[in-house]
């Protein structure tokens, strides 16, 4: 049997780039393998995956042998590539094309001009196999992010691929959705024999599924053991204690729903945050974390109970997607947007660029930055306004370990400067890292509010 | 009651039925026709959406009816039966009746459109063009998804700006709106690159001709139903034409047609209700 992927002496460089992404790199993955491809941000994980899929391969100078299932990649026709190699992207929302689930499932088959009865069989068997039949007539927008990513996997499986390439497929998902997605991917690999190659910065979560691991380093790809990729837990940071009377943000018996006749999202929610404190809101999807943030920000008002925020005049809000904050032509202009109203100048902007390591990219368009850099840029832009209160919605979503660490560092510095911070997040390692006091949202209430160390000590399921 | 009865047909059947009803209602500007259409539309709305929703709709329907009803006599002082004088205006029974019928017609049309939207969702509407125009229908499908996404993003951009009070930037005014548009445009363009890649990765353009997944097969039963509906529409259209030819509001309200000429149109108007009723009766008769 020929190898699913075989690269020999691969060299690749982007046009006008100073140095190549790969030089004499080689990799061989057998058919049926579940391979994890690790490496720091910018090391070329995405580039490598794309070089294996001719339609979306980046432009640049390439040399060396690229063979898939014994065939030269350059010889694959668009049809053969679509039928053999599936690709699942990072962002669930951006890769969905159609508005309804059934149309999305059929999209790839329609592209190949497949006859109706074959399409009906494939769509039906895929839905049955993955257990997503109930979604069939739903609109894609009604699905959660995790469900959308499962839909992307399902759409890939309708094509009956021999190989699935996945680029950070779970980095936008919450921990529960992540595990569900991985278990389905695992089934496709073991039961269907589909070869799986995942590029990820969180290799640890694949430990029980993957059969082999590779790491990109120094323009080469090396075969590595799993233990080399797994990172240990961060230590719980300590946070000074706060006087109970200095409550700066107070939600008292807050009830909130979005529509008349809708369900209550918050059912008597209580929260008190002291000046200078860092508070983390954790909880499942739809538990109301973002709603609490919007009440604190004054975007919504509780329909019962009260919400006071003594820092309402100097707050800053980082939305889930940093793109909502970015609207200028260059990175430097972006940071300078609020300079006239906030009273900072070019020196502060230069300092900010230095802090987030983007001095060399001051003239780049913000959209040319990586996701992690965009997040840091948006955060830095808010911090330049010197907010007394920082509200963050999933600040580490989609970030790799080093970018998440950079965000955590900036938050620590802001806290040292006296900023009060409220974070809504699924990322417990960030919570641990910041030593934030934890409020667990469940059923619209604060089921537990504890200091960081006490939370991780007392919670059996979430504290690991 | 719900749209289950209509779902057993290919979407073309209810689509043609409702299109016919809406067209005939628009052209049949005669008190009996409009009355029949309005009553049927109201009953249909009551049956499908419930009393509470239907009553809620009265909040805009009644003022609209009243407005058109009083505006017409003020502008067109035609007719023979003088009711009263209002300042400089002579109010005739005929022009009052014309306004009333016109208002009722407008409300009936709007209610039928709502009824159609309820029975034939956008998904079913798109299915009608899918076989012939797979690419256009795909574009429509993408638009249905991307426009609401754009609206949601606009609100997330505004929220982020409004919630960041520390910036000191003014959230209102033209500059702020331009800024929101800028952010949305770059965001959408950036996403479209990734979506383009996702489409090509799944074989977009790999075949000269796309096929289309058909979730609603067209069966013989649909053909029969469609034929019946089309025949009824043609017959009703001929009768409505005859009725309109003989009907005048001015100078006095007179008609020359037989009552029998109303029958096909009235049948057509009550057909959606009949479909609901048959489904209900069948359900009750289940062993």
pLDDT band at B23 (very low <50, low <70, confident <90, very high): very high
Determine contact, residues A152/B202, Cβ cutoff 8 Å. Answer: no
Cα separation, A289 vs A393, in Å, equals: 8
Give pTM, 2 decimals.
0.85
Neighbouring C-beta atoms of residue A445, cutoff 10 Å: 18
Neighbouring C-beta atoms of residue A39, cutoff 10 Å: 21
Is the Cβ pair A87, B138 closer than 8 Å?
no
pLDDT digits (tens, 9 = 90+) for A175-216: 899 999 999 999 999 999 999 999 998 888 898 899 999 999
Q: What is the pLDDT of residue A41?
A: 75
Q: Which of A156, A160, A151 is nearest to A180 (CA)?
A: A151
Domains A5-228 and A247-458 share a fold: yes
Cα separation, B178 vs A439, in Å, equals: 38
CA distance to partner chain A, nearest, from residue B284 (Å):
27
pLDDT band at A129 (very low <50, low <70, confident <90, very high): very high
pLDDT digits (tens, 9 = 90+) for A349-375: 999 999 888 888 889 899 888 888 899
Residues contacting residue B109 through CB under 8 Å, at least 6 positions apart: B22, B25, B26
Asked if residue B210 has pLDDT above 90, the reply is no
Cα separation, A354 vs A352, in Å, equals: 5
ipTM computed for the complex: 0.87
Q: Which of A65, A66, A23 is nearest to A43 (CA)?
A: A23
Provide the token pair at B285. Answer: 């008769």
Residues contacting residue A195 through CB under 8 Å, at least 6 positions apart: A4, A5, A29, A30, A31, A32, A33, A34, A35, A162, A163, A164, A189
Which class is A247-458 in CATH? alpha beta
Give the DSSP letter of residue A75: G
Backbone dihedral angles phi then psi of residue A148, each to the nearest 5 degrees: -60, -40
Asked if residue B149 has pLDDT above 80, the reply is yes
Give the DSSP letter of residue A139: B
Neighbouring C-beta atoms of residue A227, cutoff 10 Å: 8
Segments making up each domain of chain A, as ranges: 5-228, 247-458
Q: Which residues pair with A22 in a beta bridge?
A: A12
Cα separation, A306 vs A252, in Å, equals: 5
Backbone dihedral angles phi then psi of residue A230, each to the nearest 5 degrees: -85, 130
Reply yes or no on domain A5-228 having CATH 3.40.50.300. yes
Q: Which of B157, B160, B149, B163 is nearest to B177 (CA)?
A: B157
Burial of A460 (0-12, 13-18, 19+ CB in 10 A): exposed
Cα separation, B149 vs A130, in Å, equals: 27
Cα separation, A293 vs A313, in Å, equals: 15
Considering only CB atoms, B165 lies closest to which of A102, A312, A318, namely A312
Rg (CA), chain B: 26
Length of chain B: 287
Range 192-221 of B in CB contact (< 8 A) with A: 194-195, 197-215
pLDDT digits (tens, 9 = 90+) for A72-127: 998 899 999 999 999 999 998 889 998 889 999 999 999 999 998 999 999 999 99
Helices and strands of chain A, counted as H and E runs: 15, 19
Q: How far is CA A212 from CA A36, A89, A387, A433, B225, in A?
A: 6, 21, 47, 30, 60
Nearest-10 crossing angle of helices A175-192, A145-157: 10
pLDDT digits (tens, 9 = 90+) for B224-262: 999 999 999 999 999 999 999 888 888 888 877 778 889
Nearest-10 crossing angle of helices A401-416, A371-384: 10
* Chain A residues lying within 8 Å of B144, measured CB to CB: 99
Is the Cβ pair B156, A321 closer than 8 Å?
yes
Q: Which of B256, B41, B207 is nearest to A82 (CA)?
A: B207
Cα separation, A369 vs A46, in Å, equals: 14
pLDDT digits (tens, 9 = 90+) for B53-100: 888 888 888 888 888 888 887 777 777 888 888 777 788 888 888 889
Cβ of residue A359 closer than 8 Å to a chain B Cβ: no
Asked if residue A327 has pLDDT above 90, the reply is no
Is the Cβ pair A110, B212 closer than 8 Å?
yes
């Amino acid at each position: 049997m020929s190898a699913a992927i075989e690269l020999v002496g691969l060299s690749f460089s982007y046009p006008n780039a100073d140095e190549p992404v790969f030089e004499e790199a080689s990799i061989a993955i057998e058919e049926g393998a579940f391979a994890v491809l690790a490496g720091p941000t910018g090391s070329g994980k995405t580039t490598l995956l794309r070089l294996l899929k001719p339609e979306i391969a980046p432009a640049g100078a390439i040399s060396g042998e690229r063979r898939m299932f014994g065939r030269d990649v350059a010889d694959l026709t668009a049809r053969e590539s679509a039928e053999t190699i599936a690709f699942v992207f990072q962002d669930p929302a951006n890769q969905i094309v159609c508005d309804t689930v059934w149309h999305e499932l059929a999209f790839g088959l329609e592209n190949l001009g497949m006859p109706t009865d074959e399409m009906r069989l494939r769509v039906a068997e895929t839905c049955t196999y993955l257990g997503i039949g109930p979604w069939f007539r739903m609109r894609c927008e009604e699905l959660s992010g995790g469900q959308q990513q499962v839909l992307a996997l399902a759409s890939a499986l309708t094509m009956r691929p021999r190989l699935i390439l996945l680029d950070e497929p779970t980095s936008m998902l919450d921990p529960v959705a992540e595990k569900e997605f991985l278990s389905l991917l695992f089934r496709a690999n073991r039961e269907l024999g589909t070869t799986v190659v995942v590029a990820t910065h969180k290799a640890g979560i694949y430990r029980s599924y993957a059969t082999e691991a590779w790491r990109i380093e120094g323009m080469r790809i090396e075969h590595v053991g799993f233990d080399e990729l797994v990172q240990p837990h961060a230590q719980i940071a300590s946070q000074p204690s706060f006087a109970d009377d200095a409550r700066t943000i107070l939600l008292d018996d807050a009830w909130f729903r979005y529509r008349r006749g809708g369900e209550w999202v918050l059912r008597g929610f209580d929260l008190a945050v002291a000046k200078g404190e860092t508070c983390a809101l954790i909880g499942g999807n739809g538990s109301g974390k973002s709603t609490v943030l919007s009440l604190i920000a004054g975007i919504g008002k509780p329909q019962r109970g009260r919400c006071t925020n003594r820092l309402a005049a100097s707050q800053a809000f980082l939305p889930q997607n940093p793109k909502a904050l970015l609207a200028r032509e260059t990175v430097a202009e972006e940071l300078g947007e609020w300079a006239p109203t906030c009273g900072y100048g070019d020196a502060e902007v230069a300092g900010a660029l230095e802090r987030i390591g983007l001095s060399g990219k001051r003239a780049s368009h913000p959209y040319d930055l990586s996701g992690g850099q965009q997040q840091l840029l948006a955060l830095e832009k808010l911090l330049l306004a010197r907010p007394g209160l920082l509200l963050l919605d999933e600040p580490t979503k989609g970030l790799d370990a080093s970018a998440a660490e950079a965000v955590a560092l900036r938050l620590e510095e802001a806290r040292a400067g006296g900023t009060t911070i409220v974070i809504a997040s699924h990322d417990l390692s960030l919570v641990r890292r910041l030593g934030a006091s934890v409020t667990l949202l469940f059923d619209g209430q604060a089921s537990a509010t504890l200091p960081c160390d006490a939370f991780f000590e007392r919670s059996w399921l979430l504290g690991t | 009651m719900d749209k289950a009865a209509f779902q057993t047909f290919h979407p073309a059947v209810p689509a043609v039925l409702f299109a016919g009803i809406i067209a005939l209602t628009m052209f049949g500007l005669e008190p009996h026709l409009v009355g029949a259409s309005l009553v049927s539309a109201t009953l249909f709305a009551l049956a499908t959406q419930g009393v509470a929703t239907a009553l809620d709709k009265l909040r805009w329907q009644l003022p609209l009816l009243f407005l058109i009803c009083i505006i017409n006599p003020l502008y067109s002082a035609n007719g023979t039966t003088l009711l009263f004088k209002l300042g400089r205006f002579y109010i005739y029974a005929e022009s009052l009746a014309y306004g009333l019928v016109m208002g009722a017609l407008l409300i009936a049309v709007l209610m039928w459109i709502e009824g159609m939207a309820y029975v034939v969702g956008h998904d079913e509407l798109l299915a009608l063009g899918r076989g012939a125009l797979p690419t256009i229908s795909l574009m429509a499908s993408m638009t249905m998804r991307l426009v609401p996404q754009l609206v949601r993003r606009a609100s997330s951009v505004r929220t982020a700006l409004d919630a960041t009070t520390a910036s000191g930037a003014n959230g209102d005014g033209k500059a702020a709106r331009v800024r929101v548009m800028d952010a949305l445009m770059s965001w959408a363009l950036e996403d479209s690159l990734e979506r383009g890649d996702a489409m090509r990765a799944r074989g977009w353009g790999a075949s000269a001709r796309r096929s289309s997944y058909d979730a609603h097969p067209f069966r013989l039963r649909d053909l029969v139903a469609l034929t019946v509906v089309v025949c009824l529409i043609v017959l009703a259209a001929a009768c409505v034409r005859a009725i309109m030819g003989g009907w005048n509001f001015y100078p006095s309200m007179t008609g020359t047609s037989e009552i029998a000429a109303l029958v096909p149109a009235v049948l057509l108007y009550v057909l959606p209700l009949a479909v609901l009723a048959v489904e209900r009766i069948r359900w009750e008769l289940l062993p």
